[in-house]
Structures are given as C-alpha cells and as structure tokens.
Amino acid sequence: MTAPLLDLRSVSRHFGGLRAVDDVSFTVSDGEIISIIGPNGAGKTTLFNLLTGQLAPTSGSILYLGKDIGSLKPHHRARLGFGRTFQISQTMMSMTVLENAMVGAFLHISAVREAAEKAESKLELVGLAEHAGRRSGELTLGGRRRLEVARALAMEPRLVLLDEVMAGLNQTEVNDVLTLVEKLNAAGTTFLVIEHNLKVVRAFSKRVLVLNRGQLLAQGSADQVLSDATVIEAYIGKQQL
C-alpha cells in the first residue's frame, strides 16, 4: 500500500492557552476534493497554515507521501507540491496581474518568457487574461481572489488549498471557479477547500471535514455530515442551509 498524499497525526497548535487546532487526525488521498467547514474561529485557517508551513505544529506530525514535513519552511513545501490562496487576499500589489501569476510560474521555470506564457495560460483559466497588464491592486476583490488561484495554479501544484476563495465572488464567478476546480481535479490535482457556502460544498465535495473549536467534529459525505446532530448543533444551527 502506498502512503496517502497527506496524513495528519494528532496535530495540535496552541496560541497561549487557546487550542486553535486540537488533536486533529485525518488523511487525504490523491485526487480528492475535500471541504473543510466550521464556524468562525474553528481553526480552519490555522490548519491550512500548519499544512503549508506558515505555522509549526505545537505537537503531532504531518506526513506528505509518508515523509514528515512538519519542520519544512513554506517555500520547501511549495516545491513539494503545495499551492495555496489566502483568506485575506494577498497579491503583490505593485506588480501587474501577469507578474503576480509569473511569481508562481517561476517555481519550476527559470526563463522569463516561458514563465510568462505559463502565467498567461493560468490567467485565461481564471478569466483574468484581459487584465494581464493591470496592477493587481486595481482589481476588484473577486479579481484578486481569482488571481491568487492563478498564481497557485502556475506552480503546477499537486495539492491546492483554497481558503474561502468564493467569498466576494458573484454567482457566475462562483460557478466558473467550481467548474475550474472540477476540471483540474479530473486532471489529477487534489483540493482542500475551506468553504462557508454549503451549496458549493454539496456541489463538488465527496468528503467534508467539520472543525469546531479546533477539533475534528465529524467527517464523511456532505449528506452524512450535514445531518449529523452534533454538527447541526455546533454549526448549522447558526447558518442558513
């Protein structure tokens, strides 16, 4: 049996007395689309930061293809195949849209022309090709989120982590991103997606993880999880389905 793509074993991260991520274990197989849901402050973003190396775990281990990556820096993990977007959209504001995407493309390409070509093709995927020459700071919030997706994709990642990438997008844009994720997934990319919109979660995710107060409350298919009494109590009671 080959090692799963990701294997989290009792991963915790404390901030002082706060257990932002508390003894979380799960595995991710190659080719999955997994949604992570949970109320505000549940620890979802912290979990992402542990996976991509922005934060180090207080305890527990994170295995990627069987190797412990817990002590690797973010740029090393990027090289291994992690691509991500940030909840608070982070673009290089003084650089153009094309240049932003190129920064991702340079991960595996050193020639400028080739990097630009790769970047441009990813911008086309997310519908930003028309804006290639504009400063990224001039984009709308939705545009900046899509640009982050393009930058992550330009890294040709094996695993993509999207942190509330749909927030601030209009319905058409949401559908476009959904279609894009499904298409890339069909081509072999694995996705971990933090998402508040449960319609979106139902639409594309076969497996859903529910975090609450740092703990993994439930996992399973969307239908299973969303009918689970503890989940409803912790989370859905406060939200519109």
Partner 1 sequence: MSNPDLSLDQLHAASRRGRVPTLVNELPRLLGILVLLVGLVLLFIGDSFSLNVLATAFLFAGLATAWNIIGGLGGQFSLGHSVFFAIGAYMTANLILGYKLSPWLALLPSMTLGAVVAALVSWPVFRLRGPFFAIATMALTEVALALAMYFESVTGGAQGLSVPFKAGLTNMIFRDRMSYAFLMLGFLAVALLIFAAIRHSRLGYALQAVRDNEETAEAAGIDVLRTKLVGMAISAALMAAGGCLYLMYVRVVDPPSLFSLFDVGVKVALIALIGGIGTTYGPLLGALLIVPLENYLRAELGGAIPGSNLLALGFILMLTALYLRRGIVGAILKLRDRSWRILR
Binding residues for partner 1, rule: CB under 8 A, are 52, 54, 73-75, 78-79, 83-84, 86, 90-95, 98-99, 102-104, 106-107, 110, 112-117, 120-121, 124, 129, 132, 151-152, 155
Find the binding residues for Mg ion in span 31-50 (CB under 5 A). 44-45
Min dist. Cβ of residue 29 to partner 1 (A): 23
Contacts of 209 (CB under 8 A, 6+ apart): 26, 34, 35, 36, 37, 216, 218, 219
Find the binding residues for ligand ATP in span 9-48 (CB under 6 A). 15, 18, 20, 38, 40-46
Sheet holding 67-68, edge to edge: 18-28, 6-15, 59-64, 67-68
Q: Using CA atoms in the order 42, 161, 221, 185, what is the torsion angle rounded to 10 degrees?
A: 170
User: Counting contacts by CB under 6 A, is residue 190 touching ligand ATP?
Assistant: no
- Other C-beta atoms lying within 10 Å of the C-beta of residue 23: 14
Min dist. Cβ of residue 15 to ligand ATP (A): 4
Enter the tokens of residue 176: 């476009």
Cα–Cα dist 63/65, whole Å: 6
50 versus 98: smaller Cβ distance to partner 1 = 98
Q: Which of 194, 167, 217, 238 is nearest to 37 (CA)?
A: 194
Min dist. Cβ of residue 83 to partner 1 (A): 8
User: Counting contacts by CB under 5 A, is residue 12 touching Mg ion?
Assistant: no
Contact residues for ligand ATP, defined by CB under 6 A = 15, 18, 20, 38, 40-46, 87
> Given the rule CB under 5 A, which residues bind Mg ion?
44-45, 87
